[in-house]
Amino acid sequence: MKTLFYDDVLRFLYSSEMFQQLTEEAQQLFLNQFARDEEFIKSIAVAVDFQERLGKLEGSVPLVTPYEDDGIRNVRAIQRKLTLKDKAVTKGNVTYIPFHQKIDFAAPLIVGLDTSCEMELYEIQAKGLILPLLELCAEQKRDCIVATINDRCVFPHGELTPEGIQRLQHIKMQDEQDIALLFKQALYLFDAYRLKEDAEFMLITANTFASSDISEQLIEEFGMRGIELSAIALDSKRFEEAPLEFLNKVFFPNG
């Protein structure tokens, strides 16, 4: 993991959408709290390394996503226009369109964080990998929810909020293994959202459980809702020995 200095931290933050979309006041508050925070700097180092490896990441199953389908992309563009039209206000000869209003067009990205005791070795990396996911959500203007079996951290539209990061830092890898409960938590959160388009549940794990720990019925519940299942596998050897065959995509940040 690279050693980062204060200038590196500032460069990372100011080049990211998740930080830039904060108000200037919120940015300053965040810098005051985290710019010199040792744990947060380690998370940034993990994120920088991950971004440099993006071109080398392997997926377990080649998948054509909706973003690669011109037809669906055109439908989504029309939906955006209709949503803006519905929210537009006309006064006299002037129509006010709320371009700066936060409008959700996609379901949240829910990140399931495996917090079992076996994950303790990967705690710094697991938390650091959440930053690139926040950046992705910030670019797509979708919420990101980091869920554990006991807690959740909500980042509206991927915004890098002090409250969210502080809550994330307080998460410890010391729980008993209950991966099925984590999947059920994700289903509950998805059902709480009205929007279902592009719904994705991404698990961050070192494969601390067996595929049989998750019932076929539970996996079918995700399929019925059109939720894509993916994972960041921190232990590629374990995954090769016991692959999670129900996943649509798997990424291996450690090669």
Instruction: Tell me how many domains the chain contains.
Output: 2
More confident of the two residues 71 and 200: 200
pLDDT of 24: 95
Residues 191 and 140 in one domain: yes
The domain in which residue 76 lies consists of 69-96
Same domain, 37 and 151: yes
Instruction: Tell me: do 15 and 39 sit in the same domain.
Output: yes
Output 196 or 45, whichever has higher pLDDT.
45
Q: What are phi and psi of 4, to 5 degrees?
A: -110, 145
Asked whether residue 56 falls in the same domain as residue 73, the answer is: no
- Find residue 155's DSSP bridge partners: 144
CA–CA dist 97, 136 (Å, integer):
26
pLDDT at residue 126, rounded to an integer:
96
Are 53 and 82 in a shared domain? no
CA 124 – CA 49 distance, rounded (Å): 13
Give the separation between CA 13 and CA 207, rounded to whole angstroms: 31
Q: Answer with the one of 77, 96, 115 that is the final residue of a domain.
A: 96
26, 56: one domain? yes
Is 171 found in the same domain as 89? no
Do the domain assignments include residue 137?
A: yes
Decide: pTM greater than 0.95: no
Render pLDDT for 171-208 as a digit per residue (tens, 0 to 9).
999 888 789 999 999 999 999 887 677 899 999 999 88
**Tens of pLDDT along 139-178?**
988 999 999 999 999 999 999 999 999 999 999 998 887 8
> Does 83 share its domain with 136?
no
Examine the domain organization and report whether 148 and 197 are in the same domain. yes
Give the relative orientation of helices 24-34 and 6-14 as an angle to the nearest 10 degrees. Answer: 150
Nearest CA-CA partner of 199 in 109, 80, 131:
109
218 versus 4: the higher-pLDDT residue is 218
Per-residue pLDDT at 91: 52
34 and 140 in a common domain: yes
Q: Which residues pair with 95 in a beta bridge?
A: 90
In a domain, 1, yes or no: no
Assign residue 25 the CATH number of its domain. Answer: 3.40.50.410
